Structure formats: C-alpha cells, structure tokens
C-alpha cells in the first residue's frame, strides 16, 4: 500500500472484502505490521496484533459452531483435527493470497523482502486481523459471513481427502492400502549452523525413494516428505 494513496487503497480493499467499514482506521490497522510503525513514527494508527488476537477467537468460535452443526456424527477429536486443518497458517495465508491482499500490506522495507514461511505467517495474521476488524466494526454476523465465504468451501475437500490427518499418518495409511507396506524415513542430509539447521529426509517404500522433504526439524522434514510422497503417487487425487 502506498502511504500517499491510503484512502484509495482502503476503498479498493473494502471492495475485495465486500465490507464497507464505518471506522476505516480498523481496516488500516488490520493491514499494518508492527515493523511499519517502527519506520513511520508519524503514523497515528495501531498495528494489527490486537485485532489478530480478537480475530483468532472469533474465527475459532465460528468454525467450531459450523463444524459441530455440519457433522453431527463426528467425534470431538476428529472435529478438532478438521478445524485445525481449516484454520492453520497455510489455509489462512492461502485465503489472504486469494484475496490478493499482499499489495495492501504496510510493512517495513526489511519485512517486505521476506518470502516463504515468514510471509505465510504475516498473511495468516492479517486474515485474522480482518476478522477482528470486521467483528468490531460490523458485529458477529458480518464476521461470520466473511469467514463462511472465505473458508467454509474448503471443508468438504479437507474431509474427503482427509487433509485433517497429518501427512505421515495419511501416507502410511495409503501405502498400506495400495502397496501393503509401511513407509520408512531416512536422514539424507543436514546443513546450516546449529541454531538454524536444515534437515533433508527421504521417505521409502521398501527400498524405493518416493520423495524428499526439508525442514528445521526432522519431524517437519518427515511431514513434508510424506506430503510430497502422496502427491508423487497421485494418491491425493483418488
């Protein structure tokens, strides 16, 4: 967002969100990262962390109520896992990307250069801040409508493909179903200093390397390897 055209940008963002704010400062705060205020001492609005805190709580209530009513036969543990898949960082950042809110973010020059996982967190936090801002400005029903339009359509795919299940458990289940074998994981490489170690893990069916994954822990790398293996086998399309 260009600081010289904030009013115009906010109007464009309102159209994307399909919400006309009574208090434009709430929307401005929702797209403002803490780092922006460190570089712009003249700014009079707040950053988005308090709105994110509020939005997270509203999001959990709305999604919990929706899943509870939609799946009356599912047990609490499965509902919890489905909810987690629906509101995790990847899901929320994808929702923000779909809304194309990147162009509206107010961040420091350093934060603006961050990509990958760091940007995912920022986009997920902004999505929750939008919810908090809408809740304060428009009330619960409007916040619920926004969440429903952006997230609820993903629910059936999550349930159908069992995306609520962690990738390792899912890949093991699929491997046993299709190949009657339990996957094994091996450390292929590790690099970087002790405080920023990157692990590369390979997942095998018998002796065949199916896929690899990287992460800042072995567990994270194994999860990525398992998800990549599901994709490599095209089992996520079945």
Asked whether residue 52 is marked as a ligand-binding residue, the answer is yes
Residue 24 CB-half CA count within 13 A:
10
Asked whether residue 115 is marked as a ligand-binding residue, the answer is no
Among candidates 147, 140, 206, 209, which has minimal Cα distance to 176? 206
| Catalytic annotation, pick one of 9, 111, 128, 222 | 128
Catalytic residue check, 128:
yes
Among candidates 163, 209, 216, 217, which has minimal Cα distance to 185? 209
Catalytic residue check, 46:
no
Asked whether residue 173 is marked as a ligand-binding residue, the answer is no
| Catalytic annotation, pick one of 56, 111, 212, 224 | 56
Long-range contacts of 137-141 (CB under 8 A, 24+ apart): 137/19, 137/21, 137/22, 137/23, 137/26, 137/27, 138/19, 138/21, 138/22, 140/58
Binding residues for Mg(2+): 52, 125, 128
The catalytic site residues sit at 56, 128
């Amino acid at each position: 967002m260009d600081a010289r055209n904030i009013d115009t940008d906010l109007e464009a963002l309102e159209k994307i969100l399909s919400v006309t704010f009574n208090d434009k400062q709430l929307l401005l705060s929702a797209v403002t990262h803490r780092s922006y205020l460190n570089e712009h001492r003249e700014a009079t609005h707040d950053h988005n962390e308090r709105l994110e805190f509020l939005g997270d709580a509203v999001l959990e209530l709305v999604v919990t109520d929706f899943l509870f009513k939609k799946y009356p036969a599912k047990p609490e543990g499965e509902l919890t896992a489905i909810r987690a898949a629906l509101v995790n960082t990847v899901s929320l950042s994808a929702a923000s990307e779909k809304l194309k809110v990147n162009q509206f973010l107010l961040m420091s020059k350093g934060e603006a250069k961050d990509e990958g996982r760091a940007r995912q967190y920022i986009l997920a936090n902004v999505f929750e801040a939008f919810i908090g801002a809408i809740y304060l400005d428009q009330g619960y029903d409007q916040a619920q409508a926004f969440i429903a339009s952006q997230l609820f359509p993903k629910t059936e795919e999550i349930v159908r493909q069992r995306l609520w299940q962690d990738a390792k458990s899912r890949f093991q289940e699929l491997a046993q179903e299709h190949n009657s074998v339990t996957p094994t994981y091996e450390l292929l490489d590790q690099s970087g200093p002790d405080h920023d170690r990157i692990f590369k893990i390979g997942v095998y069916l018998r002796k065949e390397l199916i896929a690899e994954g990287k992460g800042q822990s072995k567990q994270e790398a194994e999860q990525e390897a398992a998800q990549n293996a599901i994709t490599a086998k095209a089992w996520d399309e079945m």
